[in-house]
């Protein structure tokens, strides 16, 4: 049954004889044509009907209300019609779109641009039209005077269908076109609007036109399920039945008991609690229905009876349309239609076969579809077509596997992706078991989907596929690397905001899901490094490796901040060690070839291979998580060696008596010269004959460390636990901190140690990490414990402490002396206190130190170390395992079983720890333990065979780690001579 009311038209529309039309209350008419109306639409110039798949249109003529019903002769079976300002758009059963000629209504033709596309929905405005394809792409055509096509500013009008690129990847549920504005709703209820906005009909809070789809943020998480556009107003319906309206209200069409425009979506209060099931907008009036009560409400312009209340008025609040005489229990309401001056309600009897909804959805993937594919019930051609549709479309995938329980997918935001992860896992597992299916899926994803992804997704829903695809790719046995590489490049091309959003999604993933993501990119990185270690080279390998490592870096950042159960060790790529071993062998091979006769071609091949390996190392150093500490130290040494070998060393002529002053003077001169700190250094102590083969420079930095601690300028402050920090009171000599930084950087660059006990906080700051309260506890235990106790105290105790926001008379915040520390703000006080100690109080001191450090160590490779690793590299290991020194020793002109050697080790292990350290200074020029322990020290004991050995002292060749030990007659003589040597011999015996 069809009910209608509004402006006068031909009685019965030509669908049946006028005398068969039933007249009810308030000008409402009803009729039951012999051939039932399955769908209809009313516009400004036409009313269109669909019966048995055939279309008839009635032209609305202002001078002649007796327009003739015209049948359109088409071969297609039509399922949907939408009438706009001057014409209509038809949708055939198989998804084919036809446009009705506005002058010759019986003539229809397909629009250009939609060839071979299956359309799911159509919409029509005054002068523009929209079509949503079954793979989730939105096409538009017509006038673009106000940006209603959504094709960016100044885009011309178009007769052919154009894709709205700005919505690519968004899974759309419904489209709607108004006078000169357009709207879409996503599957998760996100609303996008664009076009004319003179009355606020876009709901964006202003009256500025939009030329591209724009999110209506005020409707986020309102569970919007449908939208309808009028001439210059818009109405939305939430899943719970709440109606929001906005835009022009001059005729009362917003239902807010006023005739004012609304620029923001506003609830129609009169309908609150009614659980509205459908809303539709005419040009200047609005209709809503409540299915449970079979009531229809109307509001807005009723000057031609289109409100169904029997009055020619404008009504600003919803009132029921009286259908009591027309509708009985046999009929159920199906659809509301509002035109310019007409209103319609379509009903069906319970026993009648209702037509399929003309609002078809985009094809998405779900467990049911996968089960059907796996079962093979459909032909392979049908299955293949569906696979191509779903897996070639970002929108289709982004609309798949939504978590519908408790409407969770409607809460999609930057923190909630809306996916049902368990369903994804089980569904993909089924798909991966079928080789034929997965082969087709891989092909479509690789060659169609991934190349189509854009760097600027329209919203958070467009990022779901970056969560889905890794789960699919991770289960592949073949082509995994190619797909992973393609996906990595697409992730990295995302704009910064989208990448940040994706990282947020990763941080909220279940642990096992995130662990699988890490495993995927870790495995691919490891395999590539393994291939390179076996001699494979090439630009593609390099690019893929960089991309995989970049993704791992993003994941590492996520795991460090939110997933403590995924540890650093899960990111270490052990194949890096193999690569470094290969590089070491290649360097040795090259050295051998340079010393022998070999062909230029062979030599060139090895040189190229070495350079390629160095290139890979330079990539790896940018990703600190990828290598363990030992490998990182090797990479540092390789890069350091490669760089230093390229330059002639800087010679530092130093007087022992004025070591610090001479050093600073030389550094000042170096800064003004063309020679940089890349050159490395050689130390010459004035008046001594020693040649620096690393021993002299090791002693130089050891002595310099002591001088810096005793510097009369008091640059450094020694705390009660012997740790050293910048002196916050030293505010005038910033250059002093700069030269301190250069000295520390030079020590690191030249692979030496500084014997200054800086806290871990310094190395965090150098690596741009923030020190914490635990770091303060290392530097100043008493202060830190007081702050920790403050955080635990009861409120009364905190108040009795009478603390304010100052430290040592310095305000932590403006007017800090007037702000008392309370239980509420104490965490802020502690955070500011820690920040003051490590940052604010020494801001300039650290700034100059950091600049000097970076210049002194010009290779930024040091940034690959974690703070603890960098600390150990500069200070040396804090662990003195003396057994490691014994185990690393080798012997010349003697053996470990000789009496002399046994006596030496007996005496050595009898020494106090201080004497053992003196022995290290005697032998190596420094008592620092290398990173990795004393096993990294090269110790060679040479037994000298000169006459009268009991009158000779032991000698040290520091540059070679060689101890020259006379063949003493007994252990007591050895003990006395060795103690004397390590205690009084400040100048090395032999260099």
Q: Which phi and psi (to 5°) does residue 796 adopt?
A: -65, -40
Q: In sequence order, what are the residues at sequence separation of 6 or more whose Cβ sits closer than 8 angstroms to the Cβ of residue 386?
A: 363, 369, 373
Which stretch, 346-355, 689-698, 964-973, has highest mean pLDDT? 964-973
CA distance 678 to 666: 15
Q: Which residues of 643-675 are buried (b: 16+ CB within 10 A; e: fewer)?
A: bbeeeeebebebeeeebbebbbebbeebeeeee
pLDDT digits over 855-914, tens only?
999 988 899 999 999 999 999 888 899 999 999 899 999 999 999 999 999 999 999 999
In sequence order, what are the beta bridge partners of 175?
Answer: 184
Decide if 833 contacts 805 (C-beta within 8 A).
no
Q: Is 118 exposed, middle or buried (0-12, 13-18, 19+ CB in 10 A)?
A: middle
DSSP code per residue over 680-700 = -EEEEETT-----SSHHHHHH
Q: What is the DSSP letter of 53?
A: T
CA distance 630 to 584: 14
Decide if 26 contacts 368 (C-beta within 8 A).
no
CA distance 854 to 867: 15
Decide if 965 contacts 892 (C-beta within 8 A).
no
**Confidence bin at 821 (pLDDT 50/70/90):** confident
Please pick, among 3, 32, 959, 985, the residue that the annotation labels catalytic.
959
CA distance 928 to 920: 8
**Confidence bin at 989 (pLDDT 50/70/90):** very low
Q: How many CA atoms lie within 13 A of 940 on its CB side?
A: 11
Crossing angle of the two packed helices 480-493 and 539-562, in degrees rounded to 10: 70
Residue 764 tokens, joined: 């965090």
Helix (H) / strand (E) element for 119: namely strand 119-124
CA distance 610 to 617: 11
Q: Which phi and psi (to 5°) does residue 107 adopt?
A: -105, 125
Mean pLDDT estimate for the chain = 90
Query: 756 to each of 667, 714, 716, 747, how far by Cα in Å?
Result: 20, 14, 10, 12
CA distance 37 to 32: 9
pLDDT digits over 437-487, tens only?
999 999 999 999 999 999 999 889 999 999 999 999 999 988 898 999 999
Percent of the chain with pLDDT over 70: 96
Mark residue 14 as left, alpha or beta (left: phi above 0; alpha: psi -120 to 50; beta: remaining): left
**Confidence bin at 368 (pLDDT 50/70/90):** very high
Decide which of 644 and 850 is more confident. 850
pLDDT digits over 537-564, tens only?
999 999 999 999 999 999 999 998 886 6
**Is 32 among the residues known to form the active site?**
no
233-238 and 331-338 beta bridge pairing: unpaired
CA-based R_g, the chain, Å: 40
Query: 588 to each of 584, 593, 618, how far by Cα in Å?
Result: 6, 9, 19
Handedness of CA 557, 562, 568, 572 (dihedral sign): negative
Decide if 243 contacts 299 (C-beta within 8 A).
no
Whether residue 991 has pLDDT greater than 50: no
128-133 and 138-142 beta bridge pairing: antiparallel
Residue 355 tokens, joined: 């037509």
Whether residue 799 has pLDDT greater than 90: no
Sequence-ordered strand ranges (E) for 407-471: none
pLDDT of res. 779:
94
Decide if 203 contacts 219 (C-beta within 8 A).
yes
Instruction: Select from 511, 507, 510, 508 the least CA-distant residue to 560.
Output: 507
Which stretch, 666-670, 689-693, 796-800, has highest mean pLDDT? 666-670
In sequence order, what are the beta bridge partners of 902?
Answer: none
Q: Which phi and psi (to 5°) does residue 663 adopt?
A: -65, -45
Whether residue 988 has pLDDT greater than 50: no
- Mean pLDDT confidence for 640-645: 77
pLDDT of res. 562:
82
Whether residue 353 has pLDDT greater than 60: no
Whether residue 599 has pLDDT greater than 90: no
pLDDT of res. 533:
94
Ranking 67-71, 358-362, 436-440, 467-471 by mean pLDDT, the lowest is 358-362
- Taking residue 803's Cβ as centre, other Cβ atoms within 10 Å add up to 17
- Mean pLDDT confidence for 511-539: 94
Crossing angle of the two packed helices 629-644 and 867-875, in degrees rounded to 10: 60
Query: 587 to each of 281, 533, 750, how far by Cα in Å?
Result: 78, 14, 20
Residue 113 tokens, joined: 């641009």
pLDDT of res. 967:
92
**Confidence bin at 351 (pLDDT 50/70/90):** low
Whether residue 990 has pLDDT greater than 60: no
pLDDT of res. 329:
66
pLDDT digits over 291-343, tens only?
877 889 999 999 999 999 989 999 999 999 988 765 566 778 889 999 999 99
Instruction: Select from 157, 85, 89, 166 the least CA-distant residue to 121.
Output: 89
Decide if 344 contacts 337 (C-beta within 8 A).
yes
Query: 466 to each of 430, 481, 514, how far by Cα in Å?
Result: 20, 16, 12
CA distance 593 to 608: 14
**Confidence bin at 985 (pLDDT 50/70/90):** low
pLDDT of res. 136:
94
Instruction: Select from 148, 164, 146, 144 the least CA-distant residue to 156.
Output: 144
Query: 242 to each of 223, 257, 282, 295, 758, how far by Cα in Å?
Result: 9, 17, 19, 15, 64
pTM reported for the whole predicted model: 0.83
Q: With H, G, I as helix, E, B as strand and everything else as coil, classify residue 974.
A: helix
Q: What is the DSSP letter of 469?
A: H
Q: Is 546 exposed, middle or buried (0-12, 13-18, 19+ CB in 10 A)?
A: buried
Residue 710 tokens, joined: 């005793």
Whether residue 356 has pLDDT greater than 70: no
CA distance 525 to 224: 43
**Confidence bin at 188 (pLDDT 50/70/90):** very high
Instruction: Select from 752, 761, 780, 718 the least CA-distant residue to 875.
Output: 752
Q: Which residues of 72-96 are buried (b: 16+ CB within 10 A; e: fewer)?
A: bebebebbbbbbbbbbbbbbbeebb
Which stretch, 410-419, 494-503, 679-688, has highest mean pLDDT? 494-503
Residue 657 tokens, joined: 């008596």
Q: How many CA atoms lie within 13 A of 959 on its CB side?
A: 12
pLDDT of res. 348:
82
Put the strands of the sheet holding 108-109 in their side by side order: 78-83, 88-92, 97-100, 108-109
Instruction: Select from 47, 21, 24, 10 the least CA-distant residue to 344.
Output: 47
Residue 481 tokens, joined: 């690397």
Decide if 871 contacts 753 (C-beta within 8 A).
no
DSSP code per residue over 292-305 = GGTEEEEEEE-TTS
Q: Which residues of 747-763 are buried (b: 16+ CB within 10 A; e: fewer)?
A: bbbbbbbbbbbbbbbbb
Q: In sequence order, what are the residues at sequence separation of 6 or more whose Cβ sits closer than 8 angstroms to the Cβ of residue 794?
A: 823
pLDDT of res. 61:
67
Q: What angle do CA 674, 676, 682 make, to 5 degrees?
A: 115
pLDDT digits over 925-971, tens only?
888 888 888 888 889 999 988 788 898 999 988 778 889 999 999 99
Q: What angle do CA 186, 192, 196 make, to 5 degrees?
A: 150
């Amino acid at each position: 049954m069809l009910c209608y009311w509004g402006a006068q038209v031909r009685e019965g529309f030509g669908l049946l004889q006028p005398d068969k039309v039933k007249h009810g209350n308030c000008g409402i008419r009803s009729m039951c044509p012999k051939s039932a109306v399955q769908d209809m639409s009313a516009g400004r110039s036409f009313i269109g009907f669909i019966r048995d798949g055939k279309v008839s249109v009635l032209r609305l003529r202002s001078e002649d209300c007796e327009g003739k019903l015209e049948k359109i002769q088409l071969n297609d079976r039509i399922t949907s019609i939408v009438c706009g300002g001057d014409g209509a758009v038809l949708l055939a059963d198989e998804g084919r779109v036809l446009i009705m000629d506005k002058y010759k209504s019986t003539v229809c033709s397909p629009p250009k641009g939609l060839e071979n596309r299956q359309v799911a929905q159509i919409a029509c405005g005054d002068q523009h039209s929209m079509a949503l394809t079954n793979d989730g792409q939105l096409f538009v055509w017509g006038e673009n005077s106000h940006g209603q096509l959504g094709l960016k500013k100044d885009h011309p009008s178009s007769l052919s269908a154009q894709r709205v690129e700005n919505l690519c990847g968004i899974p759309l549920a419904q489209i709607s076109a108004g006078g000169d504005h357009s709207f879409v709703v996503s599957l998760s209820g996100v609303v996008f609007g664009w076009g004319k906005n003179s009355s606020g009909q876009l709901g964006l809070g202003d009256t500025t036109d939009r030329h591209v789809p724009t999110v209506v943020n005020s409707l986020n998480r309102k569970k919007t399920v449908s939208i309808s556009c009028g001439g210059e107003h818009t109405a939305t319906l939430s899943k719970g039945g709440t109606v929001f309206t906005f835009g022009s209200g001059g005729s009362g069409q917003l239902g807010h008991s006023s005739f004012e425009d609304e620029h923001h979506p506003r609830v129609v209060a009169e309908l609150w609690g009614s659980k509205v099931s459908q809303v539709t907008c005419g040009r200047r009036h609005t209709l809503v229905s409540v299915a449970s009560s079979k009531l229809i409400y109307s509001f807005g312009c009723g000057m031609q009876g289109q409100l169904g209340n029997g009055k020619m008025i404008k009504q600003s609040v919803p009132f029921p349309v009286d259908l009591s005489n027309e509708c009985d229990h046999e009929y159920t309401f199906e659809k509301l239609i509002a035109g310019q001056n007409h209103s319609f309600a379509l009903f069906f009897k319970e026993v009648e076969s209702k037509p399929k909804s003309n609002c078809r959805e985009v094809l998405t993937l779900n467990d049911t579809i996968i089960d059907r594919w796996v079962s093979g019930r459909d032909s392979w051609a049908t299955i293949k077509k569906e696979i191509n549709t779903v897996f070639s479309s970002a929108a289709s995938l982004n609309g798949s596997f939504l978590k519908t329980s408790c409407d969770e997918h409607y809460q999609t935001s930057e923190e909630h992706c809306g996916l049902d992860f368990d369903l994804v896992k089980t569904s993909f597992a089924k798909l991966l078991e079928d080789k034929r299916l997965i082969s087709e899926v891989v092909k479509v994803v690789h060659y169609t989907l991934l190349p189509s992804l854009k760097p600027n997704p329209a919203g958070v829903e467009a990022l779901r596929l970056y969560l889905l695809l890794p789960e699919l790719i991770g289960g592949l046995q073949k082509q995994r690397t190619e797909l992973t590489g393609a996906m990595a490049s697409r992730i990295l091309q995302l704009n910064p905001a989208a990448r940040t959003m994706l990282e947020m999604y990763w941080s909220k993933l279940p642990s096992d899901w995130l662990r699988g993501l890490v495993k995927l990119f870790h495995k691919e990185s490891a395999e590539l490094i393994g291939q390179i270690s076996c001699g494979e080279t090439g630009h593609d390998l390099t690019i893929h490796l960089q991309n995989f490592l970049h993704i791992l870096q993003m994941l590492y950042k996520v795991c460090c901040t939110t997933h403590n159960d995924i540890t650093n060790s899960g990111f270490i790529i052990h194949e890096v060690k193999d690569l470094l071993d290969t590089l070491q062998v290649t360097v040795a091979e090259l050295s051998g070839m340079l010393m022998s006769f070999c062909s230029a071609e062979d030599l060139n091949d090895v040189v190229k291979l070495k350079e390629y390996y160095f290139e890979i190392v330079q990539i790896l150093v940018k990703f600190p998580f990828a290598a363990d500490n030992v490998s990182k130290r090797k990479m540092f040494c390789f890069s350091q060696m490669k760089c230093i070998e390229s330059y002639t060393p800087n010679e530092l002529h130093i007087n022992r008596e004025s070591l610090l002053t001479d050093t600073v003077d030389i550094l000042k001169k170096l800064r003004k010269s063309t020679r940089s700190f890349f050159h490395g250094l050689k130390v010459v102590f004035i008046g001594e004959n020693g040649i620096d083969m690393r021993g002299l420079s090791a002693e130089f930095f050891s002595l310099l460390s002591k001088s810096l601690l005793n510097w009369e300028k008091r640059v450094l402050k020694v705390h009660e636990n012997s740790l050293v920090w910048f002196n916050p009171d030293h505010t005038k000599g910033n250059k002093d901190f700069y030269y301190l930084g250069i000295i520390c950087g030079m020590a690191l660059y030249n692979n030496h140690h500084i014997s200054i006990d800086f806290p871990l906080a310094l190395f965090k700051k150098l690596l741009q990490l923030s020190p914490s309260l635990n770091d303060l506890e290392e530097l100043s235990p008493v202060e830190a414990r007081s702050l920790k106790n403050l955080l635990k105290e009861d409120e009364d105790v905190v108040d009795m402490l009478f603390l304010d926001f100052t430290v040592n008379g310095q305000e932590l915040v403006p007017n800090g002396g007037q702000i008392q520390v309370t239980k509420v703000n104490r965490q802020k006080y502690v955070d500011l206190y820690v920040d003051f100690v490590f940052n604010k109080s020494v801001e300039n001191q650290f700034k100059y130190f950091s600049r000097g450090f970076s210049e002194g160590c010009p290779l930024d490779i040091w940034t690959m170390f974690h703070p603890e690793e960098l600390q150990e590299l500069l200070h040396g290991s804090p662990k003195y395992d003396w057994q490691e020194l014994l185990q690393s020793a080798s012997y010349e002109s003697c053996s470990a079983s000789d009496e002399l050697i046994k006596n030496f080790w007996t005496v050595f292990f009898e020494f106090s720890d201080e004497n053992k350290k003196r022995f290290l200074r005697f032998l190596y020029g420094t008592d620092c333990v290398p990173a990795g322990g004393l096993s990294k020290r090269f110790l060679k004991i040479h037994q000298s065979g000169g006459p009268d050995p009991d009158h000779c002292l032991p000698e040290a060749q520091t540059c070679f780690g060689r101890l020259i030990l006379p063949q003493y007659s007994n252990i007591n003589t050895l003990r006395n001579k060795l103690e004397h040597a390590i205690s009084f011999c400040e100048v090395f015996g032999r260099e």
